Amino acid sequence: MEQTKRIEYIDALRGLAMILVLYFHIPSYCLGNAYIGFNDILEWVRMPLFFFISGFVFYKADRIWNSITIKSILKKKFMVQIIPMAVFLTLFLILFDYMEPASFGSDKKGYWYTFVLFEYFVLYIGAEALLNKNKTVQGEIYVFLSVLLISLASFYYAKYYTRYSNELGNWKTVLGLLSFVKIRHFIFFWFGTIVRKYFAKFIHITNNDYVIAAIGIIFIAMIIFPSVFHITGLEYPAYMISGIASTMLIFTFFRKNEHLFTKDKWFGKVLQFIGRRTLDIYLIHYFFLPYHCLQDFGAKLIQYDNKALEVVVILLLALCVLAISLIASSMIRLNPFLVHYLFGVKREEK
């Protein structure tokens, strides 16, 4: 694959990932129960897929990790990930009167994703530059072990946070500001870079129907019997394996059926458009979520206990928020100054 050419099914896959995020935020922020409408299952898919795609598109085979390259990448990523997040978070806090220390903790009122993604870039670049500068197999193993250790530390910190929070002192504030509990997804970002690096081998493996069937069985077993891993204390290995399995299944489906997701097909065209505006949608949509309007309706929906109805309601609301966010995005993009500083779009040279 050409490194600089956009891959249509990847853009479509981004679009799907963004819809899954909105599909989670509707019940989480608006209906009073984050896990209705099969969101308890989609939790094993949503963020692993999003970070997998980020790692996949970030990897470049010809990159040399010297000071010039690192400074250039981090400067660009800072402009795209941090500045827009800071602007939109500040506006959100002012408009919704959330100016309090807790608003800058791990979740950051929902604006943690771009912040943590920037941290992933820093961590990954640091690991590659320090541990795999010569691009050897041994270096790759060291990078993997460092990624795994960081991800494990974040996961188990989140698990035992309340038990040991009083003993952390000022470290609790620092780790909250760094959104350390969210770094548990780092393993999926790394997996995305590995798939891109060994893409031909990945295709060879996933073209085998028996392999795909085995991966599907593993994923189903993980989501059906989560209590087994909770009892044995193996929650993170289960989450990691299920996340990798789900991304492999979904990514392979899109790759093998890429003809369905081209611009010639209306569905593919729509998903690609959403996929190219994921940052815009993510930053904007929090302003249009009906936070306090649907609590009573959500309680009735939960009481009714009909999964099909939950899916329809959540999806319709998510698509409405998506459409409004895209309209707002298109309006903002009419101004070159705003689109540069709010969405990190590179200015055209005159």
Q: Largest Cα–Cα distance in the chain? A: 62
Distance CA 195, CA 86 (A): 31
Distance CA 37, CA 306 (A): 9
Taking Cα atoms as reference points, which of 26, 36, 42, 41 lies closest to residue 306? 36
List C-alpha distances in Å: 197 to 57, 62, 201, 244: 10, 11, 9, 16
Cα 101 to chain centroid distance, Å, stands at: 25
Contact 249, 301 (CB under 8 A): no
Region for 75 from its dihedrals, namely left if φ exceeds 0, alpha if ψ lies in -120 to 50, beta otherwise: alpha
Distance CA 316, CA 294 (A): 14
Give pLDDT, residue 158: 81
Backbone φ and ψ for 289, nearest 5 degrees, come out as: -70, 130
Tokens in use for 248?
């492999």
Tokens in use for 243?
């996340």
Which long-range contacts (C-beta less than 8 Å, at least 24 apart) are formed by 102-105? 104/176, 104/177, 105/176, 105/177, 105/179
Contact 286, 108 (CB under 8 A): no
Other beta carbons less than 10 A from residue 198's beta carbon: 12
Task: Per residue of the chain (350 residues), give pLDDT as tens.
Answer: 444 468 999 999 999 999 999 999 999 999 988 889 999 889 889 999 999 999 999 999 889 899 999 999 999 999 999 999 999 999 999 998 777 877 888 899 999 999 999 999 999 999 999 999 888 999 999 999 999 999 999 988 887 776 666 677 777 888 889 999 999 999 999 999 999 999 999 999 999 999 999 999 988 888 887 666 665 567 778 889 999 999 999 999 999 999 999 999 999 999 999 999 999 999 999 999 988 788 888 889 888 889 999 999 999 999 999 999 999 999 999 998 899 888 888 766 44
Domain ranges of the chain: 1-43+262-350, 61-197, 208-260
List C-alpha distances in Å: 310 to 47, 294, 295: 21, 13, 14
Helices (H), 181-306: 186-197, 199-206, 209-224, 226-232, 235-256, 266-276, 278-284, 295-304
